[in-house]
A and B are shown apart, each in its own frame.
Chain A
């Protein structure tokens, strides 16, 4: 089976000023090639879990191993972010460049690709997602569904080995939802989806986990 892609050991995390921790002595594993759905009531820590993996939040105690390496400091997480992609819940948080092409190329450029390579990668990624004519579109003038797909393109353009999606179906119409399911089914990397939509998860993942304060329970 190989070593886990992500392993969280005995994590404790509380938001500053909060009376009760989100996670206490929390442990979690994601194995290679797995497609996992995370479910649970609002506020149970699904998004927090994703942010802990990306290093946007730091646990008060416990250790995080990603691709078998322990990550602790900002510098370690810089490496993580090159290999793990996170799709934010609200695409307006993710898309900040004026045009779609620039936004999709932003990640590859940060990875040190030359502008030419970055544009090629961006175009390829957009073609894969059926966004061929979007290059010069202005990001904030896209529809909600288009924004979501472009945001996904910006993440996939970095060629991640693992993809985290935070409620990807919010505000999507039926057609875009189908497109998204189709795209996810065609991916050959491991991914983890936070969602409240059973039907969507049934189409995209094999296992679903309930997020609790100290573990993830497989259904």
Chain B
């Protein structure tokens, strides 16, 4: 399975050993604050905090860089457009193109915010295996059904992805070469439809197997989490850092404010 893996979830660093519930809460708060932030000061400080977490998680930097590159494709698209199309004072002209100060500063801010959140997401959430994450979410405020749906879906993604690969290989063996034509689209549609049919049949069998083991509508989770001293310290430090970010955002007169600042 090359497509689906959790490259960051394995490790023994301090960040990996923290209680997932704490990491989820801190990451969520941080993400919301970064999304709301309008000043360069708070955003840069947030980015620094996120990079600090990433360093503590001791992940493979090349893999992180690879992910960030992919994530920044939308941002790259914005750099091509926003500085040119954003209304404001022109600071640089090149032929018919006009770069505005507001456009440049705003795109810069978006880039920083976006990367800060994604880095925090990688450092704090992607370091939790999805299975543990589902169990932790059900211990927080998330509806039980949704958590079971998440765990169930995740479990069968692997099985179906394997079936998908087998089907694709079988297509290749018979000389299928994708192109921009109706044959390609029909073949891919059949591939998707076949996946759906198999998933439907499998759902039937899975449910039967559950009935055979006496399932009558209740799911149980046996996972027990407990707060350690390091979790309490982590939460305290994070809350302090987040408060500092809020202060920075509100006290510092905005160097540059976005349009909705």
Interface residues of A (CB under 8 A from B): 51, 54, 56, 78, 81-82, 85-86, 88, 90, 92-94, 96-99, 101-102, 105-107, 109-111, 115, 118-119, 138-140, 154-155, 158
Contacts and interface: CB of A to CB of B under 8 A. Distances in A.
A51 B211 CA distance: 11
A81 B210 CA distance: 10
Interface stretch (B58-66, B102-110, B129-137): B129-137
Interface string B188-231: 00000000000000100110111111111010111100000000
Contact of B214 (A51, A82, A96): A82
B159 interface: yes
Nearest to B131: A98
B151 interface: yes
Interface in B63-82: none
A94 B210 CA distance: 7
A152 to B, nearest CB: 12
A121 to B, nearest CB: 12
A109 to B, nearest CB: 5
Nearest to B132: A98
Nearest to B203: A93
A138 B133 CA distance: 13
B155 A140 contact: yes
Given A56-B211, A81-B212, A158-B214, A96 B220 contact: no
5 nearest CB pairs, A to B: A110-B214, A98-B131, A93-B205, A107-B213, A94-B209
B220 A105 contact: yes
Contacts of A92: 159, 202
B222 A102 contact: yes
A85 B222 contact: no
Contacts of B223: 99, 102
B205 A154 contact: no
Nearest to A77: B211
Given A88-B205, A110-B215, A140-B155, A96 B210 contact: yes
A56 B129 contact: no
Contacts of B209: 86, 88, 93-94, 96
Interface in B130-164: 131, 134-135, 151-152, 155-156, 158-159
Contact of A81 (B129, B151, B211, B218): B211
B214 A111 contact: yes
Interface of B: 129, 131, 134-135, 151-152, 155-156, 158-159, 202, 205-206, 208-216, 218, 220-223
A118 B155 CA distance: 22
Contacts of A99: 131, 223
Contact of A158 (B159, B213, B218): B213
A183 to B, nearest CB: 19
A81 B135 contact: no
Contact of B216 (A78, A101, A118, A139): A78
Contact of A119 (B134, B158, B214, B222): B222
A140 B158 contact: yes
Given A102-B223, A111-B214, 9 more contacts: A90-B205, A93-B202, A96-B206, A102-B222, A106-B210, A107-B214, A139-B155, A158-B213, A158-B214
Contacts of A78: 214, 216
A94 B202 CA distance: 10
B159 A140 contact: yes
A51 B207 CA distance: 13
Contact of A98 (B151, B210, B216): B151
A106 B220 contact: yes
Contacts of A86: 209, 212
A158 B131 CA distance: 25
B213 A98 contact: no
B210 to A, nearest CB: 7
Contact of B129 (A90, A111, A138, A154): A138
B216 A115 contact: no
B135 A98 contact: yes
B205 A110 contact: no
Given A102-B221, A105-B220, A138-B131, A81 B205 contact: no
